[in-house]
Structure 1
Amino acid sequence: MSETTQPAAAPEVARFVRRATGATQRYRAMAWITGTLLLALCVEVILKYVVHIPHDVLRYIEWIPYAHGWVYIVYLVSVFDLWSVMRWRFGRLATMAAAGVVPVMSFILEKKVHAQALARVEHAQRSL
């Protein structure tokens, strides 16, 4: 058997590594974008309902809820993609989905999920 011959499972592992790496990168980017827009939304709500800033100033930031809503949908797609590639339990999916609507949670969970996903990818690469 030559050195270039790979086991039969090698193409499947390589495919998993590619898919997992891409899904992890997409999730990471969307978690940061969603989290940032959620913090901006919190500031907008405080300015609107607590500080009562004038309506002519609000028109410059009234797009934030709509942007967060649409970005959150893309975030959910990236969450589902990573979850399905990693084959995690349903509770992980629910936690990752909730992170997009709880301020600061997306940043904290992203760090944890990213580390766990990379560890799983490294484990798969070592099994080759």
Structure 2
Amino acid sequence: MSSPNPAQVPQIKKVLRFYKASSYVTGGFLILLMITWGIRRLPFLGFDLWLLGPNGFFSFEQYGVDGEGLPDVGFNLTVWILIIHGWLYVVYLFADFRIWTLMRWSFTRFLLIALGGVIPFLSFYTENRYAKMAHEQLAKLEGK
């Protein structure tokens, strides 16, 4: 494993801030996703979160097989949380890729960071651990 290019330190610091932000946002949406999955999948629940539906601003709507019984108006927040997390994960992977390439880390480290966007709470751990590693490497590179 080689060390980062000293000329790229300012760029690395910006990418590191971007990585940290994407890590927290993606991790937060993953937790929301897991909550909505639980509300949807647990046998005694079987609800989707609904916004601006026929039963008010925010409601739990029970559904049958293949989404039968869901309102025709409003927004299915459960589905939107899934979609938003998917796109945030793409942004998280991009941030992971950028920090990985600039820091010149091993491919295994890239994969471990990437898992943070799909395993609940792992993004918070990986952000803490690898951001700290990056800051330490940058401090050594800058001679601090």
The bucket for the TM-score relative to the shorter chain is 0.7 to 0.9
Query: Please, which runs of 5 or more residues in structure 1 have no aligned partner?
Result: 1-11
What residue in structure 2 maps to residue 116 of structure 1?
133
What residue in structure 2 maps to residue 31 of structure 1?
23
Query: Please, which runs of 5 or more residues in structure 2 have no aligned partner?
Result: 51-59, 62-75
What residue in structure 1 maps to residue 13 of structure 2?
21
What residue in structure 2 maps to residue 97 of structure 1?
114
Higher helix share: 1
Report the residue type matching 2:35 in the other structure.
V
Report the residue type matching 1:60 in the other structure.
L
Higher strand share: 2
SS in 2 for 1:100: coil
Q: Within 5 A, what are the aligned runs for 1:78-97?
A: 78-97=95-114
Shift of 1:60: 3.3
- Kindly indicate whether structure 1 or structure 2 has the higher relative contact order, using CA contacts under 8 Å at least 6 residues apart: 1
What residue in structure 2 maps to residue 67 of structure 1?
84
Report the residue type matching 2:143 in the other structure.
R
State the 4+ residue runs in structure 1 displaced beyond 3 angstroms: none
Report the residue type matching 1:41 in the other structure.
L
Cα RMSD, aligned residues only: 1.7
- Tell me, yes or no, if the aligned pair for 2:40 and 2:47 is still in contact at 8 Å: yes
Q: 1:48-89, CA deviations, whole angstroms, 9 ceiling, x for partnerless residues? A: 111222675252332100000001001100000000000000
Mapped to 1, the partners of 2:78 and 2:98 lie a distance apart of 31
Report the residue type matching 2:41 in the other structure.
Y
- Tell me, yes or no, if the aligned pair for 2:33 and 2:85 is still in contact at 8 Å: yes
1:52 paired with 2:46, answer yes
Mapped to 1, the partners of 2:89 and 2:134 lie a distance apart of 21
TM-score (norm 1): 0.83
Report the residue type matching 2:29 in the other structure.
L
Mapped to 1, the partners of 2:86 and 2:48 lie a distance apart of 24
Aligned length: 115
